[in-house]
């Protein structure tokens, strides 16, 4: 199939792109850094795209010539002066979706986020939901995939959590009792690949691990995998950590107030929908 994918150099995007190439698909990558893509995949076509400014339908029409499937994996976890949630998660994806409809693209696979639903409460979730809602109104075939925390050895967040797991004594907000449901990157890739062949389209699928667990339990599992012993948690009040996060975010973007709020909200869903779609259960953690 002729497939166009955005953000192919990101953690999720590069795993999906590698899998598509391995399966023999004709892949076109949209990226800001063309040289980085060509260095990794010399054989594929690359279109230089700026998701900050390419928010007009006309910017996408020629790029979609001959394309059958579009996979949008663009996502940021923290805003900067130039890269905003409104631009990267909402305005430009909607322009891309409109262009897909005009060009007769057969299928769109949108990588959203768990929590981008009717209970969304922070700009990250709301911006993803806005694009999802627009896509769901279109008559073409689509999938909205809402992954939980995605882990893999080469993932930035996984490296951060592994660093946390290296400490035997760890301060965690509310004692790390928040419920999460991490999913392995390979499971997410398998869901994307299944979407390519599925005729049961126009689906929203929460891509989650096989079971929910406390955040502290997740860190403990990572610690055990490192061959280390029990972790001792120092509970930190949420309000105190929230105040600290306003400063911490400038050094560690994952520790932003909004990310803390999403963690406190919890990040879980029913895994049965994904299991039924894949025909198997998600991988056991970690």
**Residue 254: what pLDDT?**
84
pLDDT digits (tens, 9 = 90+) for 95-132: 999 999 999 999 999 999 999 999 999 999 999 999 99
Q: Does residue 27 carry a pLDDT above 90? A: yes
**Residue 284: what pLDDT?**
78
Are 30 and 63 spatial neighbours (Cβ–Cβ below 8 Å)? yes
Q: What percent of the chain has pLDDT over 90?
A: 86
Which residue from 259, 228, 233 is spatially nearest to 176, judged by alpha carbons? 233
Q: Does residue 286 carry a pLDDT above 70? A: no
β 179-180/69-72 pair status: unpaired
Can you state the angle between helices 257-265 and 123-136, rounded to 10 degrees?
70
The domains found in the chain, sorted by start residue, are 2-147 (3.40.50.720)
Mean pLDDT of 52-57: 94
Q: Cβ atoms within 10 A of the Cβ of 245, count?
A: 19
Mean pLDDT of 41-52: 92
Mean pLDDT of 10-15: 94
**Residue 15: what pLDDT?**
96
pLDDT digits (tens, 9 = 90+) for 132-146: 999 999 999 999 999
Q: Does residue 46 carry a pLDDT above 90? A: yes
Which residue from 71, 86, 80 is spatially nearest to 124, judged by alpha carbons? 86
Compute the mean pLDDT over every residue in the chain, rounded to the nearest whole number. Answer: 94
pLDDT digits (tens, 9 = 90+) for 243-255: 999 999 988 888 8
| Per-residue buried b or exposed e for 203-228, using 16+ beta carbons within 10 Å of the residue's own CB | ebbbbbbbebbbbbbbbbbbbeeeee
CA distances from 61 to 99, 100, 101, 121, 169 (A): 6, 8, 10, 33, 54
**Residue 143: what pLDDT?**
98
| Res. 155 pLDDT band, cuts 50 70 90 | confident
Mean pLDDT of 195-211: 95
Q: Does residue 275 carry a pLDDT above 70? A: yes
β 179-180/213-214 pair status: antiparallel
| Per-residue buried b or exposed e for 29-56, using 16+ beta carbons within 10 Å of the residue's own CB | bbbeeeeebeeebeebebbebebeebbe
| Res. 47 pLDDT band, cuts 50 70 90 | very high
Q: Does residue 38 carry a pLDDT above 80? A: yes
Q: Does residue 285 carry a pLDDT above 80? A: no
| Res. 153 pLDDT band, cuts 50 70 90 | confident
Q: Does residue 32 carry a pLDDT above 90? A: no
Mean pLDDT of 49-55: 93
């Amino acid at each position: 199939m002729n497939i166009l994918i955005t953000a192919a150099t990101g953690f999720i995007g590069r795993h999906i792109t590698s899998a598509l190439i391995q399966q023999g698909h004709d892949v076109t990558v949209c990226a800001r850094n063309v040289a980085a893509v060509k260095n990794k995949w010399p054989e594929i076509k690359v279109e230089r795209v700026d998701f900050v400014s390419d928010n007009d339908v006309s910017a996408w029409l020629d790029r979609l010539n001959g394309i059958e499937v579009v996979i949008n994996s663009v996502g940021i976890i923290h805003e900067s002066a130039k890269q905003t949630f409104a631009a990267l998660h909402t305005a430009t994806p909607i322009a891309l979706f409109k262009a897909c409809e005009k060009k007769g693209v057969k299928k769109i696979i949108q990588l959203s986020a768990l929590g981008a639903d009717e209970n969304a409460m922070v700009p990250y979730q709301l911006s993803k939901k806005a694009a999802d809602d627009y896509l769901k109104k279109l008559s073409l075939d689509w999938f909205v995939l809402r992954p939980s925390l995605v882990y893999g050895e080469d993932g930035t967040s996984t490296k951060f959590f592994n660093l946390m797991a290296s400490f035997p004594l760890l301060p965690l907000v509310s004692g790390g009792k928040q419920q999460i449901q991490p999913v392995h990157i390979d499971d997410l890739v398998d869901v994307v690949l299944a979407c390519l062949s599925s005729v049961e389209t126009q689906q929203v699928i929460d891509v989650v691990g096989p079971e929910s667990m406390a955040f502290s339990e997740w860190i403990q599992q990572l610690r055990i995998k490192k061959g280390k012993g029990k972790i001792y948690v120092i509970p930190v009040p949420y309000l105190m950590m929230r105040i600290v996060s306003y400063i911490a975010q400038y050094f560690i973007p994952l520790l932003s107030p909004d990310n803390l709020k999403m963690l406190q909200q919890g990040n879980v869903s029913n895994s049965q929908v994904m299991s039924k779609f894949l025909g198997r259960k998600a991988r056991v953690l970690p």
